[in-house]
Amino acid sequence: MGSVSLKLGDGTARFKRSTLCSSAVNILMLFSVLATNLLALYAFTYSPKHHTITPFHHKNITLISQHVSLIIKQIDSSQKKLARIENQLLGYQTLNVSRPNLANELKLFLQHHQLPLGKDSRTGITEMVASVGHSCEKSAGLLSQYMTYKVSGPCPDDWSLAQKLILRGCEPLPRRRCFAKTVSKVGLSTWSGLGCKNINCLNKKPNGFAFDRQKYVKATSKNDFLIDDVLAMGNNGIRIGFDIGTGSKTGTFAALMAEKNVTIITNTLNVDALDSDFIAARGVFPLFLSLDHRFPFYDNVFDLVHVTSGLDVGTKPEKLEFLMFDADRILRVGGLFWLDNIHCGDDEKKRTLTRLIEKIGYKKLKWVVGQKMDGAVGSGKHELYLSAVLQKPVRI
């Protein structure tokens, strides 16, 4: 009746719907319920003309009761099957569209669209299908809330809801048919859902909001690498790069690289502030994406991948491998992988990261392990940090 395939590599579920109309299912379900009720009413209200109760009558009543009970069980089973069929007819299997109060916009977004000229000879596809994160089923209520809005009207001011869904694995989010909120002047006063409205307030947050321009132009510790030095290691072949981690929340690294004619895309989420708005206001490119999502870029496109955080995955070395291999995928041969003050915590975590780097086979152009005190970590002690510039090798 319908089909669904999960493409776990990029965390999306693609849905197809059948060409049959689901209204027929509703009519069949209604008829089954009415028939069951009429049969039950007849069985329990019918009485013979003679009121004399005989063993034969007892036997008939018992048989009728057994039949009614069996029919009710069959109807209950049929209703469950019909609900599954309805989901297949509409084209969804991981998202239960038969649940009450599910936004109609969500159903419309996920419907397939036949190609106007039929089957495409190059790709073999016959229809275009929408994508939504397969983990959205666990947050269907929030997803329905996200998709509840006035069509062609202003979108709700719900950036925090969108980020909550993303952090729950509901990524990518579905498109919407509404106009995003616009502001006449970019500024902190326009930020909704946040307590801070000025830079001084943001700087007092545990993770800070400092503009770390200085460390890229004048080193304050041996773990700080200067931008000019790193670009020289790339033989002046660095043109585009990808910046990963919460340390990039101000977009300072991308802004400094722009002065060197290098285009940087900055991965960001909103933590204590609308970081994406702030980065865009500086004329650089923010990418609103969690680190659990497959990077939405083609293979071998970046000259540089810069990482400031995101590599601390606790006791899950496999998670670190997924992230590192995906970063390797988008980095071209000869490109630079810049680990910028990565917090290792202890020697064991450093060894884990080192083994993975050796497993991938990167050439170490620069490698520094040092200790420093960082208030963002919160320990009040000197912590172990790793900074390195690695080069992607040719693989045969």
Low-confidence ranges of the chain (pLDDT < 70): 1-61, 83-99, 129-130, 134, 183-213, 246-249, 271-273, 310-315, 373-380
The owner of tokens 């609103």 is 288
Q: Where along the chain do its domains lie?
A: 83-182, 199-392
Residues contacting 224, CB < 8 A, separation 6+: 215, 216, 341, 387
Enumerate the H helices of 91-158 as residue ranges.
104-110, 140-146
User: Given this model, what pLDDT does residue 15 score?
Assistant: 38
pLDDT in tens, 194-233: 555 555 665 555 544 445 667 787 877 888 899 999 999 9
Q: Which residue type, as a one-letter code, is found at position 116?
A: P
Those residues whose C-beta lies under 8 Å from the C-beta of residue 330, and which sit 6 or more positions away, are 242, 295, 297, 298, 299, 300, 301, 302, 305
Q: What is the pLDDT of residues 369-389, one digit of tens each?
A: 888 765 554 556 778 888 999
pLDDT at position 187:
52
What pLDDT was estimated at residue 365? 95
Q: What is the pLDDT of residue 5?
A: 39
For the segment(s) 199-392, the CATH number from 3.40.50.150, 3.90.1150.10, 3.40.50.970, 3.20.20.80 is: 3.40.50.150
pLDDT in tens, 343-365: 887 778 888 888 888 888 899 99
The pLDDT, as a whole number, for residue 8 is 36
Tokens read off for 22: 């689901």
Amino acid at 365: L
By three-state DSSP, how is residue 336 classified? strand
Helix (H) or strand (E) holding 16: strand 12-16
CB 12 within 8 A of CB 172: yes
pLDDT of residue 21: 44
207 — phi, psi (to 5°)?
-90, -5
In Å, what is the CA distance from 171 to each residue of 94, 151, 288?
14, 22, 11
Residue 154 β-bridge partners? 179
Structure tokens at 97: 């569209």
